[in-house]
Structure 1
Amino acid sequence: MSPDATPDPFVEPMAFGQRMQILRQRRGMSRPVLAGLVGMSPSWVKQIETGQIQVPKLPMILRIAELLRVRDLSDLTGDQTMPVDLFIGPGHECLPAVRDAINAFPFTADREAPPTAHLQARLARAWDARHEAPNHREVVGKLLPDLIRDAQLTVHQADSAADRRAAQAALSEVYSLAQFFVAYQPDSSLLWRVAERGMVAAQDSEDPHAIGVAAWLTAQAHRDSGPSHFEAADAVNLQTLNYLEPLLPDAPDEVLAIAGALQFEAGYTAARRGETATAWGWWDKAKKVSKRLPADYFHPVTSFGRAIMGAHAVTVAVELHAGPESVRQAARADRTTIPSRPRRARHRIEEARGYQLDGQADVALATLDKAHEAAPETIRYNGYARRIILEETEAKSPERRRRAAELAVKVGLLTA
């Protein structure tokens, strides 16, 4: 290796501080930014990275791992004896079949493709099944392989330009469903392949709703890749919103909903940056859009609607690391019911993050229990939930340690 090359923290043995510095730099995060997010000084971060002070205790290591989006805790600590995936959940048993369907493409076929209307009906049933199921990855994972193959075939066999555009819109939404399944599983390249194919199919369809959904998911993929990708997330968001803007005065509910969802995503990214006024400004815009929708409207892909705005407010406050505000928003959000088990579980996890920020660790654990009741697969694949649970297994309170350990067993972090 060249002496000027950046060492790989996953290959060569090196100290915790060196690993932390490399991972921080790869995320495009400065020392002052990381220091502010963990509540320490830039000099403390420098002393950790240069080995001048001891490795921090587990709660701080877990906070650093969360902020640096470390996939496996051993990548940060160097201890390979107890690997713990934080932001990547376990590989689902349906993943190989879904991957095979995505990787294949039907250039020829000995059967007739299903009509686009048939695909759309199956998609609607698949989204309904996902929202109703506690084991939503299992349900979706079994449906996806045939959906992917049939949607690809329908595009391939389209007879006219109009038929092909309609088939591309359906294929794009199939890829959207696939992205929900693939997310947080141990195949990041597959996730990006799905996101890119979904965007290409949406653009070919010329369908505003399909384009908006694909952009919404692509922006999330960029943002979850770390601070150095926030600009890319914003670019996708804002370009798509500019495209949709002229259509909104007379837009159907589904296009209004995707516009509102994109506005919230812009606020989400701003909150990740720590831009308080910008984050809440985008949330306000999304709130206004939600009021143009029927009171009971619920978008099947983004979950956007009036009922979700309280949960979105909790997320903004949590991402801004505003503990008391997170708790206040959580209390308000609990007045509404989110008509989706996985989305309800996700909201409970965001509430738990807020309670922990506010120093209410016992309430945070109780809230994660509620998330597990709503949808065990959601919490099993959620890095924030996993971090809170692991952190509380080291709590000073014996009772809290016991509760955290029991929850860790439930979600598969520890064995019984």
Structure 2
Amino acid sequence: MSLKEQLFEKLREKESRMIEIRRYLHQHPELSFYETETAKYIADFYEGKGLDVQVEINIGGEHGVIVTIDSGKPGKTLAIRADFDALPIKEETGLSFASENEGVMHACGHDGHTAYMLVLAETLAEMKDQLNGKIKVLHQPAEETPPGGAVGMIKAGCLEGIDNVVGIHVMSTFPFGKILYREGEVQSARSFFKLTIEGKGGHGSSPHEANDAIVAGSYFVTMLQTVISRRINPFDMGVVTVGSFDAKGMFNVIKDKVVLDGDVRAMSEGARSIIDAEIKKICEGLEAAFSVNCVLEYTTDYPVLYNDPAFTRQVAEILKNSQMDNVDSVEVTPPLPPSEDFAYYAEKVPSTFIYVGAQVEGKPAYPHHHPKFDINEKSLLVCAEAMGSIVVDYLNKG
């Protein structure tokens, strides 16, 4: 029996434990940067198992956990990453193991990421004498909230000595049985802004005596759409969304101030920089045209997630040549609009981020960050086998 077959056999025997861990974590979600108990749970998992692994906790003053599995033999060092934070969402799944933390929910699958990674890491540690090189398991907090937990992990040195990094994300809207990958740009960069428009209030019967902040804000929303249609190359991806326009008041009173919150996505740093600059220009124009004052708070965070082409091809070839349970195909995915702080690792070290279909069979497929989000728990074993295949072939075959 090959090493990979031995690994798969062990993982299949432990599948029920993956599901049990996932359900426990799902019941006890914690928000980004507040994952104290989750980090402790992860660190405690590795204790007392005779695994001979190095466990570091509270990386960089945050709640990250790094586990080093050293084969004791020369070779490369591969980092494998799983995030574990939850979202400020009130769960509406009706699951028997629904969140017990009111208003907090694992609505993105990070509970599943952590569950499969714990069991996989335990199993790889049991088999480390048959491997070469080292494995660094990056249990990362705070993926959901800027500046993102990856930043703190990197500053604390988690990539020192690392040759490559691999991450997997379960996808509730992708068919179960598919693994997807993409070379190059795969997920978008992100910026967000808060714009406060300060005008001069007045009575609706005398608009000439006021500077209407609502009118100025409305022009801002309209002008914003021309940035994408008239400033961005049609073959490049850019999206600008105003998600909040706070202007509630009396029907006959002209507001003196409105506040708008918006989201920016782009699939290249060039496009994002154009959007950033154009939004600032529009604000300057509003001030001149409407005699208002614009206070713009603009934050640029997660970069474009770029999958190193050569490394991604290597990983895809490993997956295609692995006989995994419940995997029908390994395919190329189109670019994905959401952002992901795994991009920070990929900026520093050749990396790849792949996707495992986790659509629940026989039920509606709710998207990530939805109150009814759920995953097919069979996808946990797929994740473990996929990542395990990558680790074994990467370290032992080069």
Shared fold per TM-score greater than 0.5: no
Larger Rg: 2
Q: More helix per residue: 1 or 2? A: 1
Give me the TM-score of the superposition, normalised by structure 2.
Answer: 0.26
Query: Could you say which structure has the greater relative contact order, defined with CA pairs below 8 angstroms and 6 or more residues apart?
Result: 2
| TM-score (ref. length: structure 1) | 0.25
